[in-house]
Structure 1
Amino acid sequence: METTPIPGLLVVRLDLRRDPRGWFKENWQRAKMVAAGLPDFAPVQHNLSFNGARGVTRGIHTEPWDKFVSVASGRVFAAWVDMRQGETFGATFWIEMDPSVAVFVPRGVGNSYQTLTDDVAYTYLVNQHWREGFAYPALALDDPTVAIPWPIPLTDCEISEKDHHNPILDPATAITPQRMLVLGGDGQVGRALASEFPDAVVVGREQLDVTDAAAMAAWRWRAHDVVVNAAAFTGVDAAETPEGRRAAWAANAEAPARLAALAREHGFTLVHVSSDYVFDGTSTAAGGYRETDPMAPLGAYGASKAAGDLAVAGAPHHYLLRTSWVVGEGANFVATMQRLAEQGATPSVVDDQVGRLTFASELARATRHLLESGAAWGTYHVTCAGEPQSWADVARSVFDLEGRDADDVTSVSTGAYAATRPGLAPRPARSLLDTSKIEATGFTPRDALAALREHLAR
């Protein structure tokens, strides 16, 4: 794999196996090439361009997708121009290509070639479908700014009428880079993601309702390389009602399935936030539930999240982050205990549900880590670190940090608490999630108590 002056444009030297009959090559071999450093770009279309005579010149075309280009027969002079906004706008690279050379061309880089022999078959894989009647950006072959040194003068070449009229380089028409899209931006995790990724497009339900199939279909998904789904129906108790069950299924199961299908169609990476409620809480494993443990939700909310997990796993490029006991900006258990501590209350809190807090900022940090580290696609458990605690333990920590006596918090069993709360949904008794998988990628979870102290001080 060879890098070039254009970021992301990579040259691949292919192994030609020759014998008296001719040659054979693996033109695209996903496992080997990804291991060697090529992006796993998920091609969906394979195109061949046959050129009968020497001197045919095509380009400079800048379609909004990645390409893997090579030559099946003959020889070409190939050239590329970076048409993306940024410091390398207008950067160029050229090389002679025969069947032993291939080039990965990232979205936003103009692609062109000139045949140096007769009977050239130029081949390319792309990860978006070409659409008839849609105008794609292009650049003049003789643009003096980029000054491509065509071996054969363009005046002696066969060029299409359309390519004769392509415009010259203009920064005003530079291709806008794809941006992350955060769904559910008005929730706790969404707000944390907005802070962690200030350049992201962040939308709440008013801007894009993930349960609205028509709105989802109309969104410009090609503008995004990463979509983070922090939108969810989180009413655990409300999900047990007929209306709530339908709402939970629409947001937590159908919407992720729709996003997974869109990820397959448009090629973006899907990051999805899920819950410990997909488990029944009966595991006695010291470290907690692992990613490979079977799901067995207790209630309607957990069932809807489990269905969403199964759907997201169908996206080619996905990170599924399961978490527990989320705390961020907005209504949550810690905020409630802080308010009660300030009001002088003496609450009764369950002491037989055990887990670990996860601050929304920790989920956002884990998202960045997975995206930037190149970690393997799949499911990861993300919580803060430290000793497991019950909800009563957390409440006492909040009271202590707020200057109240921790003994002002009274312990109560889940059964006794449920007896005073009709309609309370079942909850996992042990919500511990094993984080060793994400730790193996180089991520170190923050200590829960230290994060709680910082959260309350802020």
Structure 2
Amino acid sequence: MAIEFGKALTVTETPIPGLVVLDLPVHGDSRGWFKENWQREKMTASGIDLPDFGPVQNNISFNDAVGTTRGIHAEPWDKYVSVATGRIFGAWVDLREGPTFGAVYTTELDPSRAIFVPRGVGNSYQTLEPDTAYTYLVNDHWSPDATYTFLNLADETAAIEWPIPLDQVEISEKDKNHPRLSEVVPMPPKRILVTGANGQLGRALRAEFGDHPWMEFAGRDELDLTSPDLASARRWRDYSTIINAAAYTKVDLAETPEGRVDAWAANVTAVAALARIATANGITLVHVSSDYVFDGTKEGAYTENDPVSPLGVYGQTKAAGDAVVSVVPRHYIVRTSWVIGDGNNFVRTMASLAERGIDPKVVDDQIGRLTFTDDIARGIRHLLESTAAYGTYNLSSSGTASTWFDVATVVFTHRGHDGRRVSGVSTEEYFSAATGPVAPRPRNSMMATSALEATGFSPVRNDDGLRDYMETGLR
């Protein structure tokens, strides 16, 4: 069979998600032929979604006899397969968990055609010409600890129509004894790790994503992000996403010598370690940031493109963490403000004061919008599942901004108390009697959410979210 010269580089999708066939330009004359077997820039520009494929190994398989058949193997990595010489019939079966489990695709490959095989899709080959060699790039090294899945070549459900009957070809005994489709344990999806799983946001993420085998929720006791052994603490190639909900958030204590050390360790050093791991292993890193990266002097809402200008140590560490995460190829920085969730927070404190007959003085010269942890969790899941463009997104409630004094008044009223029991004071007056260090606060914490909304996400309205939280979250 003659190689077809002069084809344009094209990409064809198959019924198996992520499995794509590439027609490659091959240039030839009487001396032979030449092709660019893998050219990342051109292939990405032509529509292949492989900007971070990152192959780490190149393997070559040579088969001298026609009909040599290799079993249906699904590995926990991606591979790019092409033919160097000869011709093969290939069969691919989706062995991943999901609605396309068992889907089959077959085609022939010669030097002018290649195929990208995503993790968990079983692949097998039968040589159609003597002295056939095919090459494949993979983006992970073989490991005895990795998860592999196999399917019998003769499975009746897949019903692959082999050009040369299986009883007439060379097959290994191991391949002959692989299970039928009904007995195959599907390849699970890559794992999602949530750090800081015991905090307010961590608990909201657990509620949003649910407990599944591929979800891992780790608190400090399960995973020390400051450990020098973090890079070897997991088989990181098995993870698709890290959601970093761990942080040092004691804003005032961060202004002390001890607190400064702890804040930098948790918010910068640990984040840098996660960033290195994510970059090295093609992991999406979701990092939760804060309005404290801004100084609060802007008129109007802050956008994702406004320059950071933190006032205190906490804000400085969050800004530094953002800068580190921004260089990870796959990253989402989610900036929040005035976080309210399942734990100690301003709304709970005001409700408690109201019930105990205490009339508080509350700051009335800082403006912003509350952000509810279940909304943050919902937004993070939306970014991941919608495959929104990587980058920074503001995530707070929408609607009219308020002051802390406004929020306190609403809480008192909702709990059946006179909102006039709350007195408004300036930030300076509120902290005038403080005996310890006080961190500077941004006066304006309003953040524009239009970038996130453009991806199809609708943040909860400020007043609606507060009402719902007081009716359900305070029980």
Amino acid at match of 1:214: D
Give the 3-state SS of the residue equivalent to 2:191 in structure 1: coil
Give the 3-state SS of the residue equivalent to 1:250 in structure 2: helix
Distance 1:30 1:433, change over 3 A: farther
TM superposition score normalised by structure 2: 0.86
How far does the alpha carbon of each residue in 1:320-342 deviate from its partner, in whole angstroms, 9 at most, with x for none?
10111100110011111111122
> What is the CA–CA distance in structure 2 between the aligned matches of 1:279 and 1:392, rounded to whole Å?
21
Give the 3-state SS of the residue equivalent to 2:438 in structure 1: coil
| Offset of residue 297 of structure 1 | 1.6
Q: Tell me what 2:186 maps to.
A: 174
Bigger mean CA offset, 379-388 vs 207-216:
207-216
How far does the alpha carbon of each residue in 1:278-326 deviate from its partner, in whole angstroms, 9 at most, with x for none?
1222222x2x222122222211211211121122122221111011110
Q: Tell me what 2:454 maps to.
A: 440
Is contact 1:9-1:103 (8 Å) kept?
Answer: no
> What is the CA–CA distance in structure 2 between the aligned matches of 1:133 and 1:291, rounded to whole Å?
41
Choose the corresponding residue for 1:129, options 120, 129, 141.
Answer: 141
Amino acid at match of 1:248: A
Segments of 5+ residues of structure 2 without an aligned counterpart are 1-10
Find out whether 1:342 has 2:344 as its counterpart.
no
Give the 3-state SS of the residue equivalent to 1:64 in structure 2: coil
How far does the alpha carbon of each residue in 1:366-393 deviate from its partner, in whole angstroms, 9 at most, with x for none?
1121112221011111110112222112
Is contact 2:57-2:140 (8 Å) kept?
Answer: no
Choose the corresponding residue for 1:10, options 14, 19, 38.
Answer: 19
Choose the corresponding residue for 2:314, options 295, 301, 312.
Answer: 301
Amino acid at match of 1:49: I
Amino acid at match of 1:441: T
Amino acid at match of 1:45: V
Amino acid at match of 1:64: P
Q: Tell me what 2:55 maps to.
A: 44
Give the 3-state SS of the residue equivalent to 2:288 in structure 1: strand
Q: Tell me what 2:417 maps to.
A: 404
Find out whether 1:62 has 2:74 as its counterpart.
yes
Is contact 2:230-2:273 (8 Å) kept?
Answer: no
Q: Tell me what 1:376 maps to.
A: 389
Give the 3-state SS of the residue equivalent to 1:80 in structure 2: strand
| Offset of residue 122 of structure 1 | 2.2
Distance 1:160 1:186, change over 3 A: same
The residue correspondences of 1:11-410 to structure 2 (distance < 5 A) are 11-16=20-25, 18=27, 20=29, 22=33, 24=35, 27-29=38-40, 33=44, 36=47, 38=49, 40-51=51-62, 53=64, 54-86=66-98, 88-131=100-143, 136-142=148-154, 146-154=158-166, 157=169, 171=183, 173-198=185-210, 199=212, 200-214=215-229, 217-284=232-299, 286=300, 288-410=301-423
- How many percent of aligned residue pairs carry the same amino acid? 51
Give the 3-state SS of the residue equivalent to 2:409 in structure 1: helix
Give the 3-state SS of the residue equivalent to 2:310 in structure 1: coil
> What is the CA–CA distance in structure 2 between the aligned matches of 1:410 and 1:357, rounded to whole Å?
20
Give the 3-state SS of the residue equivalent to 1:415 in structure 2: helix
| Matched length | 455
Give the 3-state SS of the residue equivalent to 1:180 in structure 2: strand
TM superposition score normalised by structure 1: 0.89
Is contact 2:295-2:442 (8 Å) kept?
Answer: yes
Is contact 1:49-1:122 (8 Å) kept?
Answer: yes
Give the 3-state SS of the residue equivalent to 1:130 in structure 2: coil
> What is the CA–CA distance in structure 1 between the aligned matches of 2:145 and 2:450, rounded to whole Å?
50
> What is the CA–CA distance in structure 2 between the aligned matches of 1:194 and 1:176, rounded to whole Å?
19
Amino acid at match of 1:186: N
How far does the alpha carbon of each residue in 1:226-253 deviate from its partner, in whole angstroms, 9 at most, with x for none?
2211111111111122222222112111
Amino acid at match of 1:98: D
> What is the CA–CA distance in structure 2 between the aligned matches of 1:305 and 1:380, rounded to whole Å?
15
Segments of 5+ residues of structure 1 without an aligned counterpart are none
